[in-house]
């Protein structure tokens, strides 16, 4: 079925910048047609073009890209401007796997060999594109093609990916959809639970603090954050999880003398609500802020915005303590450590788990511990899972231990040693 627009629908279904059919037209086309071959073409790093040259130049480049894509459009195909820097080809003719591959490669190759030259200011820009491909019926096919773009980018920009239902990425996407719905109901039905894992002082041999952890009641199982945090990021519910854990932690610990730590994400910092929310609970439960440790997750350690540092300094002035979580992995670095100067540093568990067998892990741990001793930072070892590891941790002079050998996370406080 061909796609014809009535004159009265022209403005509604046309992209005003490029003159192509827009995303409304795209959705209508998908509804009216079956057996679709969908190619989502995403311009790589287009935000960099806007930030460098400005949005006026960015719009001119999109217009030129639209002209090139029109020339590349296969016979009996439709071209749409989908959203911002994304365009969509839909081909109704049967395409075999080889033809899907050939067309994707030809579009990528064309832009790799083509420069976009604007008439003014002698601006010449070379762009590249990443393409996601899917075959099928209905809107789900468009979703699959968009997911394929993201999967392609995990490995290499300026490439293409044909969607596969059995791929690890597709499976992860399906899990995220499941957890998106699960999180909403968990928050509404108060099935987002607070668990507490003890932390042992290696000198006194006593439990002196706890880490507050989130769990979701998933039928007969309790799901840990590793299973649902990505879905939280997607749905923007990370702060709701933090708020629930904070409220529960203050309620539980107000009648104790324990220190307790709460995980804080970059989302919590960026939203700017954290200090006020914490102080409300400090006043409500009459808890000294010095008993509250804010564990900054690894994504915060990599932030460079001055606002992030200002908030952390302000929280510290209020009396809250600061801990860096999972130190030693990915973007963790000692210069950032000096800039934040936390009260505690938690060594990433991957180095603790095999510290008895892996000389590299031992060397990394020794280096971190020595640096922290000289900097006046207390060190916590995570994933302490047996007696031999605990003895090694104590031998290295690490201040605190946390792990299943010390105590599993539980809904109630347990100071068993």
Q: What is the CATH number of the domain that holds 101?
A: 3.30.70.270
Domain membership flag for residue 415: no
Domain membership flag for residue 63: yes
- 65 pLDDT more than 90: yes
Report yes or no: 179 and 228 within 8 Å, Cβ to Cβ: yes
Of 164, 196, 226, which closes a domain?
164
- Note whether 146 and 236 are same-domain residues: no
CATH number assigned to the domain comprising residue 320: 3.20.20.450
| Residue carrying the six token digits 């190619």 | 39
Helix (H) or strand (E) segment spanning residue 392: helix 387-395
Banded pLDDT at 325 (limits 50, 70, 90): confident
Banded pLDDT at 43 (limits 50, 70, 90): very high
Across the range 228-253, mean pLDDT stands at 85
Across the range 15-26, mean pLDDT stands at 92
Among residues of the chain, what percentage have pLDDT more than 90?
Answer: 51
The pLDDT value given to residue 392: 96
- 6 pLDDT more than 70: no
- Note whether 214 and 318 are same-domain residues: yes
- Note whether 366 and 237 are same-domain residues: yes
- Note whether 156 and 212 are same-domain residues: no
- Note whether 26 and 157 are same-domain residues: yes
Domain membership flag for residue 62: yes
Average pLDDT, the chain: 86
CA distance 133 to 73: 15
The total number of structural domains that make up the chain: 2
Domain membership flag for residue 114: yes
- 416 pLDDT more than 50: no
In a 10 Å sphere around its CB, with 0-12 CB exposed, 13-18 middle and 19+ buried, how is residue 357 labelled? exposed
Phi, psi of 264 (to 5 degrees): -120, 135
Strand order in the sheet with 129-136: 77-83, 86-91, 36-43, 129-136, 160-162
- 200 pLDDT more than 80: yes
Summarised one tens digit per residue, pLDDT across range 99-108 is 899 999 999 9
Of 143, 164, 185, which closes a domain?
164
| Cα separations in angstroms, 202 against 64, 88, 223 | 65, 60, 30
Residues 6+ apart with CB under 8 A from 319: 288, 289, 290
Summarised one tens digit per residue, pLDDT across range 265-303 is 888 888 889 999 999 999 999 999 999 999 987 656 555
- Note whether 388 and 249 are same-domain residues: yes
- Note whether 158 and 183 are same-domain residues: no
- Note whether 226 and 260 are same-domain residues: yes
Helix axes 306-318, 274-285, angle to 10 degrees: 10
Domain membership flag for residue 410: no
Across the range 303-327, mean pLDDT stands at 83
Domain membership flag for residue 201: yes
Report yes or no: 216 and 180 within 8 Å, Cβ to Cβ: no
- Note whether 319 and 361 are same-domain residues: yes
Banded pLDDT at 80 (limits 50, 70, 90): very high
- In which domain, by residue range, is 150 found? 7-164
Banded pLDDT at 168 (limits 50, 70, 90): low
The pLDDT value given to residue 398: 97
- Note whether 76 and 119 are same-domain residues: yes
The pLDDT value given to residue 283: 97
Which one has a higher pLDDT value, 220 or 349?
349
- Note whether 105 and 249 are same-domain residues: no
Of 164, 197, 226, which closes a domain?
164
Banded pLDDT at 396 (limits 50, 70, 90): very high
Among residues of the chain, what percentage have pLDDT more than 70?
Answer: 88
Across the range 390-395, mean pLDDT stands at 96
Domain membership flag for residue 267: yes
The pLDDT value given to residue 169: 62
Query: Long-range pairs for 329-333 at CB < 8 Å and ≥24 separation?
Result: 329/298, 330/298, 330/302, 331/298, 331/301, 331/302, 332/298, 332/301
Across the range 197-217, mean pLDDT stands at 94
Which one has a higher pLDDT value, 330 or 208?
208
Domain membership flag for residue 412: no
- 417 pLDDT more than 50: no
- Note whether 183 and 261 are same-domain residues: yes
Summarised one tens digit per residue, pLDDT across range 103-161 is 999 999 999 988 888 876 678 889 999 999 999 888 889 988 988 998 888 888 889 99
Tell me if residue 258 falls in helix, strand or coil: coil
- 167 pLDDT more than 50: yes
Across the range 233-239, mean pLDDT stands at 76
| Candidate from 26-30, 88-92, 105-109, 178-182 with smallest mean pLDDT | 178-182
């Amino acid at each position: 079925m061909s796609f014809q627009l009535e004159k009265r629908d022209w403005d509604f279904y046309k992209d005003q910048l490029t003159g192509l059919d827009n995303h409304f037209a795209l959705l209508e086309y998908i509804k009216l047609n079956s057996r679709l071959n969908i190619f989502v073409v995403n311009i790589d790093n287009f935000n960099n073009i806007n930030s460098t040259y400005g949005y006026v130049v960015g719009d001119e480049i999109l217009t030129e890209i639209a002209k090139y894509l029109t020339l590349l459009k296969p016979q009996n195909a439709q071209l749409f401007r989908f959203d911002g820097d994304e365009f969509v080809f839909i081909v109704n003719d049967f395409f075999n796997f080889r033809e899907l591959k050939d067309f994707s490669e030809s579009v990528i190759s064309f832009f790799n060999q083509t420069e976009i030259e604007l008439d003014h200011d002698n601006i010449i820009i070379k762009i590249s594109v990443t393409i996601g491909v899917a075959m099928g019926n209905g809107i789900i096919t468009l979703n699959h093609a968009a997911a394929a773009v993201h999967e392609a980018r995990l490995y290499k920009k300026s490439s293409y990916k044909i969607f596969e239902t059995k791929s690890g990425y597709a499976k992860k996407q399906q899990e995220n959809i499941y957890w998106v719905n699960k999180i909403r109901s968990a928050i509404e039905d108060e099935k987002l639970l607070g668990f507490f894992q003890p932390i042992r002082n290696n000198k006194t041999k006593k439990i002196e603090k706890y880490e507050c952890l989130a769990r979701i009641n998933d039928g007969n199982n309790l799901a840990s954050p590793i299973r649902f945090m990505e879905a939280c990021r997607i749905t923007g519910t990370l702060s709701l999880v933090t708020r629930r854990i904070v409220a529960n932690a203050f309620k539980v610990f107000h009648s104790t003398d324990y220190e307790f730590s709460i995980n804080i994400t970059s989302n919590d910092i960026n939203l700017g609500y954290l200090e006020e929310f914490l102080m409300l609970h400090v006043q409500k439960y009459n808890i000294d802020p010095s008993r509250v440790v804010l564990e900054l997750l690894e994504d915060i350690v990599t932030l460079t915005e001055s606002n992030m540092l200002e908030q952390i300094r302000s929280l510290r002035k209020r009396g809250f303590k600061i801990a860096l979580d999972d130190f030693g992995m990915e973007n963790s670095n000692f210069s950032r450590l000096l800039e934040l100067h936390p009260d505690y540093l938690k060594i990433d568990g991957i180095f603790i788990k095999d510290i008895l067998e892996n000389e590299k892990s031992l060397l990394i741990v020794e280096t971190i511990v020595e640096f922290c001793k000289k900097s006046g930072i207390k060190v916590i070892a995570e994933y302490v899972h047996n007696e031999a590891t605990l003895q090694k941790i104590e031998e290295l002079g690490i201040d605190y231990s946390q792990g299943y050998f010390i105590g599993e996370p539980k809904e109630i406080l347990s100071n068993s040693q």
